Structure 1
Amino acid sequence: MRRLGAQMMRVLVCSPNPTVSINIEAVLAAADIECEIEPEPQAFGSLLFRDPDTIGIFLALWPGSAAKMCREWRIADVRNPLFALVDEQSIIVGPSALAAALNAGADDAQPWPINGAELVARLFALQRRQRDGNPSIIQLPGCVLRPSTGELVGDTAKIHLTHQETVLLTALAARPGLIVTKAMCMLALYNGRDEAHVKIVDVFVCKLRKKIAAATGGLDVIETVWGQGFRFIPDGYAPSFSQFGQRVPG
């Protein structure tokens, strides 16, 4: 029976073991959750990419494979919630398999086999986080950002943002008028993982500004606060340029 007030959930399952896929499908069907099966990881990622509201469940049979698959899908700009199931034998061989999957981009990671009721409960928790943590649109001057697809949509242009660009702009927009430090930006981008130098934030901001200007007719919404970080300006502003066409810092 569908939970009161819950929206219909779609789940895509990827497993090299057909029996596992069938078992998961039966558990989800009993909970009135729409489920499809795609055994090929590449096709699995492609299907998720085309439907950002679908939750992906995948089974990893050996240590490290869960993290590897997650990393590849995230690099391919798959933004969907990912639920990694790691074969319990893998955990015996490598206890860090679950942590590695989470660090690589999984939204949840549990050993397989898993209790059916717990699986369903965790899926609904993922759905709530997806719904509550990701606004359907973010209003910018002259355009809107759709975080689920990474699209900046203006009157005359539709521009695609990468996953990292979307995460960063969403984090800034969540604190309008407040200073967001580079450390806070790094936390939003990498969730505490030491995967890049802090200067990467400046690179993302530079790329974002170019795309925002293209979508808004030249406006910017990210103000640099020197020595502190960045500030989201909801109404936007027109940046200044030198006589040589270079942007004046700020």
Structure 2
Amino acid sequence: MRALLAEDDPVSARLIRASIEPSNFLVETATSAEDALDLAKVYDFDIAIIDLKLPDSDGNELVRRMRAAGITVPVLICTAHDDKQEMVRALICGADDYITKPFDKNELTARLQAIVRRSKGHAESVIRTGRMTIDLSARTVHIDGKLLPVSPKEYSILELLSLRKGRTLTKDMFLDHLYGGMDEPEQKIVDVFICKLRKKIIKLTGDESGIQTVWGHGYMLKDSEHGLNEDAAEPYFTSPEDELEAARTPEMERHNLSELDALLIKLLG
């Protein structure tokens, strides 16, 4: 998950980063309200952590401006001021929760995870998508009750797909989620991760992965009663080459038909 941290105190910023980064949060830090607002307009964050006392603005005012600009990212106010009136004002301005410093790092992480879950329509830490279950707290993936062995990056991809199931995610969104804008590799790496995930899922279940490829856009995960996704019989393809390959059948292989012949037969059939 990607977090926007609006905090001008370097010590507090380091403490917050150290508290939540081990729990799969990629943190982008802004030291002013203007910088935070600019970042929130450009990037797709899962959560924003905002200090009340920023050098150029009040944190509550920043939240109000974000909401006025149509930025719906959930917000946790994190401040040293234990003031009930400030807490009420923060919630009225559009914040989702409020925590005071010093804080317990486990409580901070738990609050952030809960806010993100609720913002995506999930009341508990376990997200079920068809036969796939992801535990956001334990960071584990199960299919039909069987543990799916995944790398940290593969888990992050399934986490993002599950949190935003039913929505097409672009390769840029995956890179943003995985690397947070730092030393991002080429987009092809996303295809590599998806390919590996599909092979692991098929090896575990013997079925298709259910991660849909949306031609020209990216990937999607959708609910289904019988499979990981619905519409499994009508896949999308990322390129004409994928469609050519999909058009081939065992009979065509036996007769050694070309890919162009295979596609023509499919189109004319």
TM bracket (short chain):
0.3 to 0.5
Give the strand-richer structure, 1 or 2.
Answer: 1
Normalised by the length of structure 2, the TM-score is: 0.43
